[in-house]
Structure 1
Amino acid sequence: MSYQAKYDEGGRREADRVDAESYLQNLQRRIKSLELQKRNTETELVRLQRENRELRKELDRLRSPPLITAVVEDVLVDGRAVVKSSSGPNYVVNVSHFVNTNDIVVGSRVAMNQRTLSILEVLPFSRDQAVSSMEIVKRPAVSYKDIGGLDLQIAEIKETVELPLKHPELFERVGIEPPSGVLLYGPPGNGKTQLAKAVASETESTFIKVVGSEFVRKFIGEGARIVREVFQLAREKGPSIVFIDEIDAIGSRRIDSEVSGDREVHRTMMQLLSEMDGFDPSGNVKILAATNRPDILDPALLRPGRFDRLIEVPLPDKKGRVNVLTIHTRNMNLKNVELEDVAERSENASGADLKAICTEAGMFAIRESRDYIEEADFFSACNKVLGSYEEKDSESGLIYG
């Protein structure tokens, strides 16, 4: 074989080898691609199988018959329970072994099978939606520094509400029980609600605010039920502060009346008295109330053991008015303003009146296209805000409001 033939044969072999290596590399890349597709397919299969199981569970849940709610009235020694169903009659039923029998107590709500009436689940305590909305989840952003002219009242509410919650050992060492409830009374707009919010903020307690008129309901027994649920919520969320604003709506003096609405209000007040009697004064639930009509409250509310600490929140004096004005004007752009002169002109003004005066003074400045407030603006605001109260001041007496 000639040299040229040998050279051509070697070239063909080299070309075949290169083609074989290239083909092998292509096959290896193809294998890797198929392996990646296989892994992705297996992952997708696992996801679809899991989703299929979840959908089947959801389908089974939707196909399952509804359960009957009932209230446990008695627990028998053999493990069965006497329940009152939502449809009316009482039943003696068995308890599923999946249910912890220690959770079944008198008064608890349970779910029962429609066919066998066996107890399958213990339901949480039912609470009226209106009661749940009374709890203020966000802690009130009010401190004692935001309240002016009430130094004596702040000191009293600290020792009656804050100390028992934060330092109960002080009362144990002295050997006395703290006051059960605190009643704030006085003219409107002087900071009664602010005091309650401040003490809740300082003690880091759950703040439950309710207006007395919210306890007044149309049907017999509804108001008493709301009172029970409010105090039950306070026990669960302890340490907590229950603040009843305008308590005179349900705490007015009882009189002989043939009107069914009056009798229902009296029943609601009796439930409130019963709940207050059942509280431990040294516990972690404190009761505050506010009213501007102390003259019409029932004496039963004010006896020792109930609202036994009465704190008057009067109109601020001149020094107090200066403190209130200082608080309300700390973010205002003032120019040549003597707050003592403004306090002198705003005699018999409440804290709310002083806040309105500051707002009106700012409005007078805006009206004249100024970015600062002068003393004359405050004097004009005093005439505008307090001028409408002259007749009201002459009629004021023991009845606030």
Structure 2
Amino acid sequence: MLSLLGPPNSGKTALAAKIAEESQFPFIKICSPDKMIGHSEIAKCQAIKKIFEDAYKSQLSCVVVDDIERLLDYVPIGPRFSNLVLQALLVLLKKPPPKGRKLLIIGTTSRKDVLQEMEMLDAFSTTIHIPNISRGEQLVEALEMLGSFQEKERAAIAKAVKSQAVWIGIKKLTMVIEMAVQMDPEYRVSKFLTLLREQGALGSDKHIAI
């Protein structure tokens, strides 16, 4: 079992989906709080249980438990959360799959401290921290990995961001790239840099999580 930790919009969900996709398991299901809006505690427990039960039917399956603290209705004021959903999820995470079945579970969270307090973090065998991009070199490496800019364009971006403060998550970066590449080729780099500044991701002395 694998947990991905990182600030909001750092790309945890996108990475989890990518890992699930590349596993090439025949059954892949994402357990997301967005799909359970309006569910009662009992209905939410039943929906989560069904996802795992369906996964057990396949020899190879992957379940992504996305945004765990939101799934638990965690509220920092109090703090408050659904103990019913927590206990159900803990049982399902720790339950071994039936004989002859393999289940990969990937969890994502922005609140490591909360999962530790709930004794859920220990249920995951491996934890990977997904930080925001905080240096120009990391930004250029991410652009190369995402493959949306030509080498000359990346070189121009590298020169422009050198020695400047950067703070942006992969998810937000992907959105900025998509907007920039809609421009004519000669304006793509300038548009990209303008969008970064407008989002507070470039040239700020303070790190702003976006």
TM-score (norm 2): 0.74
The CA distance in 2 between the partners of 1:274 and 1:253, in whole Å, is 22
The CA distance in 2 between the partners of 1:320 and 1:209, in whole Å, is 29
Task: State the match for 1:386 in structure 2.
Answer: 197
Task: State the match for 2:180 in structure 1.
Answer: 361
The answer to whether the 8 Å contact 1:185/1:313 transfers is yes
Cα distance, 1:212 vs structure 2? 2.9
Instruction: Go from structure 1 to structure 2 and tell me whether the alpha carbon gap of 1:340 and 1:221 turns closer, same or farther (over 3 Å shift).
Output: same
The answer to whether the 8 Å contact 2:41/2:85 transfers is no
The CA distance in 2 between the partners of 1:233 and 1:302, in whole Å, is 24
Task: State the match for 1:148 in structure 2.
Answer: none
Cα distance, 1:245 vs structure 2? 1.3
Does 2:64 match 1:247?
no
The answer to whether the 8 Å contact 1:190/1:351 transfers is yes
Cα distance, 1:328 vs structure 2? 3.9
Q: C-alpha deviations, 1:121-180, integer Å up to 9, x for none?
A: xxxxxxxxxxxxxxxxxxxxxxxxxxxxxxxxxxxxxxxxxxxxxxxxxxxxxxxxxxxx
SS in 2 for 1:314: coil
SS in 1 for 2:24: coil
The answer to whether the 8 Å contact 1:353/1:386 transfers is no
Instruction: Go from structure 1 to structure 2 and tell me whether the alpha carbon gap of 1:352 and 1:214 turns closer, same or farther (over 3 Å shift).
Output: closer
The answer to whether the 8 Å contact 2:167/2:207 transfers is no
2:105 alignment partner, one of 281, 287, 295: 287
The CA distance in 1 between the partners of 2:159 and 2:98, in whole Å, is 45
Q: C-alpha deviations, 1:347-397, integer Å up to 9, x for none?
A: 22322343344344334x44xxxxx235xx42443233333336x98475x
Report the aligned-residue RMSD: 3.6
Task: State the match for 1:176 in structure 2.
Answer: none
Cα distance, 1:246 vs structure 2? 1.1
Task: State the match for 2:124 in structure 1.
Answer: 307
Could you tell me which runs of 5 or more consecutive residues in structure 2 were left unpaired when the two chains were aligned: none
Instruction: Go from structure 1 to structure 2 and tell me whether the alpha carbon gap of 1:229 and 1:354 turns closer, same or farther (over 3 Å shift).
Output: closer
- Percent identity of the aligned residues? 18
SS in 2 for 1:386: helix
Task: State the match for 2:186 in structure 1.
Answer: 373
The answer to whether the 8 Å contact 2:56/2:98 transfers is no
Task: State the match for 1:127 in structure 2.
Answer: none
The residue type equivalent to 1:271 in the other structure is A
Instruction: Go from structure 1 to structure 2 and tell me whether the alpha carbon gap of 1:247 and 1:267 turns closer, same or farther (over 3 Å shift).
Output: same
Relative contact order higher in (CA < 8 Å, ≥ 6 apart) = 2
Does 2:32 match 1:211?
yes
The residue type equivalent to 2:84 in the other structure is R
The CA distance in 2 between the partners of 1:229 and 1:389, in whole Å, is 42
The residue type equivalent to 1:321 in the other structure is L
Does 2:86 match 1:269?
yes
Cα distance, 1:233 vs structure 2? 0.8
Does 2:139 match 1:326?
no
TM-score (norm 1): 0.42
The answer to whether the 8 Å contact 2:55/2:62 transfers is yes
- Within a 5 Å distance, the mapping from 1:106-121 to structure 2 comes to none
- Structure 1 or 2, whichever has the larger Rg, is 1
Q: C-alpha deviations, 1:300-357, integer Å up to 9, x for none?
A: 2112xx1242210012344432222124444x56766514225535722322343344
The answer to whether the 8 Å contact 1:244/1:290 transfers is yes
Q: How many residues are matched?
A: 201
SS in 2 for 1:221: helix
- More displaced stretch, 286-295 vs 234-243: 286-295
Task: State the match for 1:351 in structure 2.
Answer: 170
Task: State the match for 1:340 in structure 2.
Answer: 158
